[in-house]
Every structure is written in C-alpha cells, then in structure tokens.
Chain A
Amino acid sequence: MITSIKQAAFRNFKKSETKRHELNYLFWECTTRCNLNCLHCGSDCKKDSTHPDMPLNDFLSALDSIPSPPKHFTVAISGGEPLLRNDLELCGREIRKRGMRWGIVSNGHLYNQERHISLLNAGMGSLTISLDGMEGSHNWLRNAKNSFEKVDYAIGLAAGSKRLNFDVVTCVNKKNIHQLPQIRAYLVSKGVKAWRLFTIIPIGRAKNIPDLILSGPEFKNLMDFIVQKREENTLDIKFSCEGYVGDYESKVRDTPFFCRAGINIGSILIDGSISACPNIDRSFTQGNIYNNNFYQTWQTKFEPFRNRSWTKKGMCADCKNYRDCQGNGFHNWHGEKNEVLVCHKSKLESAKV
C-alpha cells in the first residue's frame, strides 16, 4: 500500500518536474583533448582533438542568456580532460561571478597540489574522479601503465578537502567486479565519502570490447553488493542514474530512477551543440549556441526529452514497468533508435532464470 502511494507520488513529481523543466545542471564539454586513451571512452576523445577548445567567452555568452539561474545552479565541466585547459580557473571564477556553482569530472592525472589549491581558490565546489579498479584493472581500462599511481594521489588530495563535494566513480566491468570489496576498502582508507558505480554501455570504443559489459548474473551481483554496503553506512555508495533497476530501485540509490536529461540537465558541447548529457546520441542536438539563443532553445525545444512516449517501442512497448522507467536512461537510445540499447531490468530478470 505504502509502496503504491510512494510510486504514484513519484510519478506525479516527475510529471510536474518535466512540465516545469527548470534548468539547474549544465554540462560544459569545454575540450575534447584528452591525456588518456581509455578503452571505454564513449566520446572517442583524442590527444589531438579536431575541435579546438571552446573559447570561454562563447560559453559565457550562452550562460548569460539564462535570465535568473536558480540557487546552486551547477556547471559540470567535462571533456576530454578539463585539466588540460590552462584557463580552467578563470572559467570557474567567471561562472562564480554569475552566482553559479561549478565542478569538474577528471581522470585525475593532472590533479596535483598546486592545481588543487588554485581550483579551490577559484571556487570549485565539486569534483568527480574516475577510479576503475585496483592497480591492474584500472590501468588496463585507462590504457596507461601509471594511471593508478596518479589517480591515487589525486584522490588523496581531493578527499582531504572539507570544502569539496567529492565522489569517486567506477565503471564496473568483468575485470573489476570481483574487486569491489577491495576497492571499497581502499576508498575508505583514503577518506573518500562517496562512491558511484556505473556500468558501461556499448557505445564509442566500448562496443568492441566484450570484457567491458557485465552479464545478467554479474549485474545482479553488483546490485546485491551495493544493497549490502549501503546498509553498512561507512561510505555513501550508490548506483548511478543510468537506468531503471526494477526491484532494486529503492535499495541502490537515494531516490527512484528519474532520467532528468533535458528536464533539469542541459549541455553545451564542444562544437556549440545544445543538448542534455554529453553521452547522449548527438542526433538529439536541439540547437547550437553559435546560431541560437541558448536559454530560448532550452525553454522551447527539447520535446523528445520531455515527452518520451516515442520510446515506447521494441522491448519497451509492452513493459509493465514503463511508467516508472520511460525508456530507461536517455543515453541508451542511439543510432536508429528502434530499440533501447540496454534494459537494466531485463538484465536482472535474466539473472533469475
């Protein structure tokens, strides 16, 4: 009974949030240059990107089109590797001048003490660093033999700051799923407070590497691990918002599944494209800051994000959980978009058989 009330209330909440579509989280793909060549990269970043970094003023012009950003509006600076930009601190200061908050998603390689201090000075309030296993499996996925050593140092610095909202993200795959207890113990020993676990969807370079994709039973093990460790309360551990996980919904995250791409989350991509999360198929681009007013585009377009009825096809067509899932995470629709790329719920169901 209580579960039904909660579910109904949450569906209503989603509906009202969708109607309201307040932009309060903006990705900025400030560069596609990267100092790594990770096996699972969804954006196929390169060391010598064909796109030049987006000039700060171009981004700021788009930001300035937002008439009254809500309190705690967050700009998540991503890449590529944002630390490759020497003007990152300047970018951050300009964002703060506009009353907004900012943070970066980094592989941690260039995160040293000097940069840590200059970024904090510039008002950085949040940081996410990727750690994809203990030394061997992390270096394998990151395709670099000294990556673990560097990220270990970066995690130590970041975890020591009381100011930062810092979390570590891990892409769980066949090579590291057996290390999860070990990784958790390592993070606790480093003083990390929050850990987010992902799986890898078969896009970009990842689609050609079978070792990256978890089987149904492995995915169920991941869910069980998260449930068990959330009860222990030592570390805030959660599954990312990448997909709907059926019976595990209330157990692996703080809130039920709600893909907010295009509802609260927007993005400005390297070529000026206006979209939602950067890993979403680029055919969903809604405009371009070099041709369109950013905020007007946010307010008037984004129909496929705010009305997801078009996803009710393929295996989603007859799914009894469609009202709660609505086609899974938006980034699971690529290419011809005739079928959802990954259905987490059916993956879990396959593990029961």
Chain B
Amino acid sequence: MKRNWRRGIIGGLSFSSALFIFQACYGTPQDFQPDLLVEGQVTSKTSGLPIKGVKVSVEDFMQYQFTDEKGNFSFYTEWMDSLTIQFADIDSTENDSFSDKNTLVINPGDSVNLEIILEEK
C-alpha cells in the first residue's frame, strides 16, 4: 500500500495522467473496461429437461450464443446498469416449440447466473 502511494506521487509529479497504462510496441491495448459474464441454463417448464439450441442474446447487441446439449450458455458482454437478455427458440421444430422470453438484469456485478424456464407453445 505504502509503495502504491509512492508510485502515485512520483507518477503525479511527472504530470502524466496515463502513466500506469501502457501498451507494448507490437501488442494490443490493455483492457481496463468492466464487462459482464452472463451464464446459466435454459430448461423446459413441462419436462424440466434442458433445451438445446436456444438463442441467447443481449437486446440491441450483435452478440449471441446458442445453448448447448445441457441447456447451458456462457458469454461475456459489455457491462451496463441494466440489460435485457433475450431467449428465442429459433429452431422451433427440432426440440419442440417454446415461447420466447426476455429477462431484465439490473445492476449486475461482474457476473450473472440465470435459470430460465421456457413454456411450450
């Protein structure tokens, strides 16, 4: 802690605001941005079994992922105060047919775990 104070003081004296942020010559920028790990499982209300192939996405974002054999999903996305996670059964006939569902997540930490139950149409 004491050492961090000293670093801060010396850094401040050299008037360089970005002193502790650097980039290797041929590397990527450092990543200081907060993000959110969204994970969970999608199951059927009727059977209780996991549903494969449900498209999980964040509203207004390009990112999406499909649930796996165990109905699981896991992806990182941009951190926001609130975000709507959408669940859509877009292969309808393959694993029965389920209604879409939206879930609002408010003030998440750095991860959120969702247990989603979809109703059959």
Contacts of A125 on B, CB cut-off 8 Å? 31, 33, 35
Does B29 have its Cβ within 8 Å of any Cβ on chain A? yes
Separation in Å of the B84 CB from the closest CB of chain A?
A: 16
Q: Which residue of A lies closest to B17 (CB)?
A: A254
Q: Tell me whether A16 and B6 are in contact (CB under 8 A).
A: yes
A38 at interface by CB-CB < 8 Å: no
Of B14, B25, B65, which is within 8 A of A9 by CB? B14
Given A123-B76, A255-B19, A117–B63 Cβ distance below 8 Å?
yes
Asked whether B48 is an interface residue with its Cβ less than 8 Å from the other chain, the reply is: no
> Is the Cβ of B14 less than 8 Å from the Cβ of A277?
no
State how many angstroms separate the Cβ of B64 from the closest Cβ of chain A: 7
Q: Which residue of A lies closest to B11 (CB)?
A: A13
Of the candidates A7, A121, A242, the one whose C-beta lies within 8 Å of that of B76 is A121
Within the complex, what minimum Cβ distance (angstroms) separates A55 from chain B? 22
Q: How far is the CB of A23 from chain B (nearest CB, A)?
A: 12
Q: Which residues of A contact B21 (CB under 8 A)?
A: 254
- Chain B, interface size: which category? 35 or more
Which of A20, A117, A163, A196 lies at the interface centre, i.e. has the most chain B CB atoms within 10 A of its CB?
Answer: A163
B7 touches A13 (CB 8 A): yes
| B interface footprint on A1-18 (CB within 8 Å = 1, 0 otherwise) | 000011101101100110
Q: Which residues of B contact A116 (CB under 8 A)?
A: 62
CA distance A17 to B25 in the complex (A): 18
- Kindly state whether residue B78 has any CB partner on chain A within 8 Å: yes
Query: Mask for B19-62, Cβ within 8 A of A = 1, else 0?
Result: 10111111111111101010000000000000000000000001
**B86 → A minimal CB distance (Å):** 15
Dominant secondary structure at the B interface = loop
- Complex Cα distance, B118 from A5, in Å, reads 65
Residue pair B16, A255 in contact (C-beta under 8 Å): yes
Closest chain-B Cβ to A263's Cβ sits at a distance in Å of 10
Given known contacts A10-B14, A13-B11, A256-B16, A277 and B27 CB-to-CB distance under 8 angstroms: yes
| Bound CA span A161–B62, Å | 9
Min CB–CB distance A143 → chain B (angstroms): 19
When chains A and B are docked, how far (Å) is the Cα of A113 from the Cα of B18? Answer: 33
**How far in angstroms is the closest Cβ of chain A from B74?**
8
> Contact mask A66-101 → B, CB, 8 Å, 1/0?
000000101010100000000000000000100001
Q: What are 5 A-B interface contacts by the 8 Å CB criterion?
A: A25-B27, A101-B31, A104-B28, A241-B22, A278-B26
Q: A160-B62, A165-B29 are in contact. List 9 more A-B contacts (CB 8 A).
A: A6-B14, A105-B28, A117-B63, A163-B78, A196-B23, A255-B22, A260-B24, A278-B26, A331-B25
